[in-house]
Structure 1
């Protein structure tokens, strides 16, 4: 019995699409995405985004340029994309600037070819103006010859072409390039834009970049804007231009106007609630800033020699004892040493003995680069001898000088006071400075807003009765409840200090929010009283005059004032008006009191 076997057949597979084919057969096309002026909502220009054949493996730029690198056609592909962008731009007759992406290598090739033809001949052939072209420099990490790049850019500028630095801050771009090339535009990577309203550190980065832009004479373009909150923050920061899907998506025809939702944000006089850093920095203050240069002694120094040293240096509060490697091993406190020396027979018994005999063998030693915040732990340590003796400051273990306990306490206190002006240490809500800044921005916006001042009733008796720990918990409760009922994108909540809070409303339903805050707080605050107080409806405690009397359970009052455009010109006046409204609310025993400015 024989078995029949079908003849084998190889299926023909289509050859993979090649970049060279796309170039030869003119299969590339261009999409245009708008770049928008954030102060006016007008379109500044369009970025040209290359596309391969629709539905193919090379349709999108990442795959297209990866294939181009494999075929050794990177520069040729870039030049072809630029040519296609110019042709498509002419066909669409779009207004504004055309932004074209090019690497340094491709840019050099274009300039070399163009110089041989005596000018931007392609633009002239297509009937385009060089002044309408912006070259976005990409792939910054591959720029090896900055001098040659600078020469190429100088040539383009003489023709009227503008220069942009693309994707600044993506981990590859160079601050040196910004300084060397002096671009007209700097496009900030979308990482910094994404979720910007929730990240104070990104906000600070934008502020720093705006200062750099002013220094170098450039304008910023924020990439990747995806929602109204991001757009509002960038507009209020003063970023000149923006780009992203919330403003307009790429299309072959190019949008003539920005999307409606974005236009509404830019036209609105609502201002953004800018995220605040939870803890203010201590301005870089380190232990070295507290240091005083002071002579030291070695381990063989006698008490007699140490006495002469103290007599020669009357300002010395202590002396560090060092080993042969200049590392501190002990600290001698001046006052303690003098007291011992004054005792009968001390000189006879110990005068020629080493000074380490009665020295502190475990002094406080801190590195010169230790920050003030880290030094605050010293203030609460069990060993408080540093207040009298001071402490030793070292670098890499070697002696540098001494610090005093008085200096440390003063510096930590100053740092905490400064921090509290920016962020309250109990609730981490913005403090006086951010509150005043936000009021100033609201006044400048020309819109009506509401300033509300919240304060606790009968808080002091509660605090005296139950202690500061439970008092702090009640203050934090105010912060939690108010935060929950404020719109984080439109309403600003700040903590002045103690039990005083400020709310700056842009929400139309601000009065309802205030009522909810009071109602919710009054309900939850009862949980902080014991059963006997709840049954009695309050507690017996001394009033502010020291007289014992009955105080009802703690409640919240809010005084609010409508600030109409032009009615008040200074943040201090707004704060005063809100405080006046609060006093009316407390005096008249009202939950919410409203007045007009």
Structure 2
């Protein structure tokens, strides 16, 4: 079994010998790496990867596939890898999508087509709709017409298509335009250190926008750090894959609970679930009671009820306030529409016929978050209403029409009432938020931020640099938010943060530390080193102005109670004046 001793002269022969032995002995074992949603951490699917199972026959995997190309044994190797992957996934009861890497010059081979007939998948008890061909450009596509025709052939049979390593292949955008894939996998070189590279972030953001417009979902490959994950979630990439989330393993495994919570944490930071902290209302505000039936209700009775009440377009099946199923009118009409439909289904309890793969969401989720998830559904369910639950119990339903109307109205309001520079809520929305806290009884801490020496900086460095300082502070305020804090931009260098808890000092200290460290980058080196700039004051007299710092004045209702906005405004105004008189960074919360 041992390979010949390798020398410079026979190294190619040795590699060919190893490849032939691998094929002859079928020494391939599959491993599976999870591809997870960057919304909630659920596993979307697994990429099947191949490893050599015989320790005496080892070579680099990519090298093995390139050698197979050269030796005209690509199909033989691909077939072996695919068979092993399907067998093992089937044996483990795969219920997610399965991504299979396929050489772009193999996919139109007749042997490959025959190897993926529906009968073959039936043998492994796998659904074609869960198989995604991951097109890998190991070599340039030799016959583009045959390739495109084969892609159409597979898509018509309900297979999914993903473009692997986007940005690292030979044709890039051309292959996307011709294939029109369901998914694009961003090359790991784009993902690596994306948190530190603005150009990579811009490229990724462009691809996200392109995907949204084209109906293509994005998968970020090669995630290896917490910061990469955080940045990709911030950029709204759909799915992620990499050693940080889960390593390739022989068993189909979910990612760890800690990583699930981490994804949810970062996602929730971008899409606040608290109605008071978001432009978008929570989905629970849109929910209507809807029509419900008991699981034991006969299907014939439900059919008659729907026939006599055209306004019932959907219904939920509820038992002890738990949603057990959901159906739209078309589903039950289809059952009873055939020649024998009535006799087949009328006496059956609806629990035997209901669909359990409906979409349900928590009532605290914001409408934009729900809208995004709803648009990821399959075409046959795309426009179905959404079930809303509170404390895991049925609350009601939301139609797609109501959902889209709510999101559209929010976009209009946001455009009208947001600060154009920072994108943060402006005065009208700020006043509404303050009033909602003051008249309520829940804990709050309202803090005002003012940049010291901002006018002097603006005069010395110009308005463009002044805007950069404002954007810097806005970004820091967002970055420090971890408990759905409301952040607003009053105007100029004045900002507000509303915390729904009493202890606002910790948040303020984080902001001060980050601002003090980052603001120096906005100054010329000589000014930063000496700690001040030379500029004229409001009276036209030249003066030394220290590096910009923050004055933060805050009021909580731990010891202060207000019922009128004017009383609160008077107190905070006096406190702000007192804070401005202090040198350097200063925080005072009463």
The within-5 A match list for 1:20-419 is 20-53=20-53, 55-56=55-56, 58-109=58-109, 113-114=113-114, 119-139=117-137, 142-258=140-256, 260-261=258-259, 263-268=261-266, 271=269
Cα distance between partner residues in 1 of 2:124 and 2:151: 22
**Residue in structure 1 matched with residue 276 of structure 2 by the alignment:** none
Q: Are the aligned partners of 2:160 and 2:182 in contact in 1 as well (CA < 8 Å)?
A: yes
Q: Which of 548, 551, 561 is the equivalent residue of 1:558? A: 551
Task: Tell me how far 1:247 sits from its aligned partner.
Answer: 1.1
Task: Tell me how far 1:32 sits from its aligned partner.
Answer: 0.1
**Residue in structure 1 matched with residue 346 of structure 2 by the alignment:** none
Q: Are the aligned partners of 1:228 and 1:265 in contact in 2 as well (CA < 8 Å)?
A: no
Task: Tell me how far 1:43 sits from its aligned partner.
Answer: 0.1
**Residue in structure 1 matched with residue 507 of structure 2 by the alignment:** 510
TM-score by length of 2: 0.53
Task: Tell me how far 1:173 sits from its aligned partner.
Answer: 4.0
For residues 76-125 of structure 1, the C-alpha deviation after alignment (integer angstroms, 9 at most, x for no partner) is 2112211111112112223301100001222122566529x9x4221122
Task: Tell me how far 1:18 sits from its aligned partner.
Answer: 2.2
Change (3 A) 1:172 1:589: same
Task: Tell me how far 1:59 sits from its aligned partner.
Answer: 5.0
Cα distance between partner residues in 2 of 1:239 and 1:555: 36
Q: Are the aligned partners of 2:579 and 2:586 in contact in 1 as well (CA < 8 Å)?
A: no
Cα distance between partner residues in 1 of 2:556 and 2:107: 55
Task: Tell me how far 1:434 sits from its aligned partner.
Answer: 5.8
For residues 172-208 of structure 1, the C-alpha deviation after alignment (integer angstroms, 9 at most, x for no partner) is 2421221111111111111221111222222221221
SS in 1 for 2:101: strand
For residues 359-386 of structure 1, the C-alpha deviation after alignment (integer angstroms, 9 at most, x for no partner) is xxxxxxxxxxxxxxxxxxxxxxxxxxxx
Cα distance between partner residues in 2 of 1:87 and 1:515: 57
Change (3 A) 1:486 1:155: closer
SS in 2 for 1:143: coil
Cα distance between partner residues in 2 of 1:63 and 1:204: 33
Single out whichever of 74-83 and 27-36 deviates more from structure 2.
74-83
The within-5 A match list for 1:471-490 is 490=480
Q: Are the aligned partners of 2:40 and 2:260 in contact in 1 as well (CA < 8 Å)?
A: no
SS in 1 for 2:107: helix
**Residue in structure 2 matched with residue 423 of structure 1 by the alignment:** none
Cα distance between partner residues in 1 of 2:515 and 2:69: 65
Given the alignment of the two structures, is residue 455 of structure 1 paired with residue 454 of structure 2, yes or no?
Answer: no
Q: Are the aligned partners of 2:38 and 2:267 in contact in 1 as well (CA < 8 Å)?
A: no
Task: Tell me how far 1:543 sits from its aligned partner.
Answer: 7.3
Q: Are the aligned partners of 2:448 and 2:553 in contact in 1 as well (CA < 8 Å)?
A: yes
Change (3 A) 1:207 1:529: closer
Change (3 A) 1:28 1:557: closer
Cα distance between partner residues in 2 of 1:12 and 1:199: 47
Task: Tell me how far 1:436 sits from its aligned partner.
Answer: 2.3
* CA root-mean-square deviation: 5.3
Change (3 A) 1:458 1:32: closer
Q: Are the aligned partners of 1:559 and 1:584 in contact in 2 as well (CA < 8 Å)?
A: no
Single out whichever of 205-214 and 512-521 deviates more from structure 2.
512-521
Task: Tell me how far 1:147 sits from its aligned partner.
Answer: 2.4
Cα distance between partner residues in 1 of 2:105 and 2:254: 33
Cα distance between partner residues in 1 of 2:27 and 2:193: 37
Change (3 A) 1:56 1:201: farther
Change (3 A) 1:83 1:583: same
Cα distance between partner residues in 1 of 2:543 and 2:141: 77
Q: Are the aligned partners of 2:45 and 2:96 in contact in 1 as well (CA < 8 Å)?
A: yes
Cα distance between partner residues in 2 of 1:553 and 1:28: 67
Task: Tell me how far 1:128 sits from its aligned partner.
Answer: 1.7
Q: Are the aligned partners of 1:455 and 1:499 in contact in 2 as well (CA < 8 Å)?
A: no
Q: What number of residue pairs does the alignment pair up?
A: 386
Task: Tell me how far 1:241 sits from its aligned partner.
Answer: 1.0
For residues 128-177 of structure 1, the C-alpha deviation after alignment (integer angstroms, 9 at most, x for no partner) is 22111100011175223232222222222232211111111115242122
Task: Tell me how far 1:251 sits from its aligned partner.
Answer: 0.4
SS in 2 for 1:107: coil
Task: Tell me how far 1:219 sits from its aligned partner.
Answer: 0.8
Change (3 A) 1:156 1:559: same
Q: Are the aligned partners of 1:229 and 1:272 in contact in 2 as well (CA < 8 Å)?
A: no
Task: Tell me how far 1:433 sits from its aligned partner.
Answer: 4.8
SS in 1 for 2:242: coil
Q: Are the aligned partners of 1:514 and 1:592 in contact in 2 as well (CA < 8 Å)?
A: no
Cα distance between partner residues in 1 of 2:555 and 2:229: 27
Single out whichever of 214-223 and 512-521 deviates more from structure 2.
512-521
Change (3 A) 1:254 1:582: farther
Cα distance between partner residues in 1 of 2:588 and 2:184: 47
